[in-house]
Amino acid sequence: MKYTKDLSWKKGITVKDIVDQYSSVGYQSTEISRASDLITKMKKEGAKIYLSFTSNMVTSGLRGFFAQIIKLKMADVICTTVGSIEEDIMKSKGEKFILGSFRADDQELYENGHNRVGNILITNETYSNFEAQMQGYLLELYKIKKVWSVTDLLKEIGLKLNDENSFLYQAAKNNVSVFCPAITDGSLGFHLFLFKQDHPDFFVDVIEDFKQIIFSTTHDEKKGIIALGGGVSKHHVILTTLINGGADYALYMTTASPRSGSLSGATTDEAKSWGKIKDDADAVTVVGDVTITFPLAMIKSLEDLSDEGILKEF
């Protein structure tokens, strides 16, 4: 039996130490510690790791952390929404996102060409620079072939970015596929539309993407899910593992509540009823802002894996 222990500070305390202490504090701090142990276990037992995240996380400073995780071989397949793609490219091109306030005057922001995402601001200029960039990329891709799966298209773009902090670049370089099940749901959708106006034989083949993601693993392979936030990116990695017999490990990190039946708020328990994760799977749900909880859980795991000599490189 495990008991609560009094948390205490000592000068210079590391993240590893604090997450270790969290294991005996209770509530969500204990769940973070469990999350960390679960990530470590997934890795040590050779699971294929599916990492999903929503685009607001790429708006935030987690973007470079995702790139680092891919570089460290801690994620094998990525699934996200199109805003992540757009903003990763923007940042790779040197665009800067401003730290603002949740209680900003949104009317004033609008007049100044500032678009708010929580307490982060993106300028209109950043969006127009992105537009110019994309038309160039699409033309280059079109010269190669006319019909693209989204994941192949993102790999080509990723290779062009040449930014260590870009998750698209690191994914492309490390043979990690990036899936995006709703590729048109963003300004990229508009750019694809514009491009197709002049190049009507240009196609994005989403069924091919689905084929690629379900063939990304097998029933026999061990599978782990790290789902950050909800929405289609979470659902898509769960669906993929379900089709392949269910996940062996699942970590959900979310702020959504399970009380309205949304998939975003669905817990790992609910997932068991579907066979989405195996009945005896290790599963942890952490409730809280992912910008806080994910770095803590992942860093503790990286430290442990590094201490054990398992981490590939750093």
Any idea which residues carry the catalytic annotation?
Answer: 276
Nearer to a second copy, 73 or 256 (CB): 256
Supply 260's token pair.
Answer: 């309205």
Q: Which residues pair with 53 in a beta bridge?
A: 80
- Which of the stretches 21-29, 44-52, 151-159, 170-178 binds a second copy when contact is defined by CB under 8 A? 21-29
- Which of the stretches 43-51, 130-138, 154-162, 268-276 binds a second copy when contact is defined by CB under 8 A? 268-276
Does the protein bind a second copy through residue 117 (CB under 8 A)?
A: yes
Q: DSSP of 268-301, one letter per residue?
A: HHHHHHHTSEEEEEEEEEEES-HHHHHHHHHHHH
- Contact between 144 and 156 (Cβ < 8 Å): yes
Place of tokens 């665009």: 95
Among residues 40, 60, 216, 244, the one that binds a second copy under rule CB under 8 A = 60
Of residues 287-306, those binding a second copy (CB under 8 A): 287-293, 295-296, 298-299, 302-303, 306
Of residues 153-212, those binding a second copy (CB under 8 A): 165, 181-186, 189-190, 192-193, 196, 202-207, 209-211
- Contact between 215 and 151 (Cβ < 8 Å): no
What are residue 151's phi and psi, to 5 degrees?
Answer: -65, -35
Neighbouring CB atoms inside 10 A of 145's CB total 11
- Contact between 125 and 90 (Cβ < 8 Å): no
How many residues at the interface with a second copy, by CB under 8 A?
128
- Which of the stretches 41-49, 154-162, 170-178, 260-268 binds a second copy when contact is defined by CB under 8 A? 260-268
Among residues 36, 40, 52, 54, the one that binds a second copy under rule CB under 8 A = 54
Closest approach, Cβ 173 to a second copy, in A, equals 17
Does the protein bind a second copy through residue 229 (CB under 8 A)?
A: yes
Supply 298's token pair.
Answer: 């992942």
Q: ∠100-105-106 over CA atoms, to 5°? A: 90
Among residues 107, 201, 219, 220, the one that binds a second copy under rule CB under 8 A = 107
Closest approach, Cβ 6 to a second copy, in A, equals 2
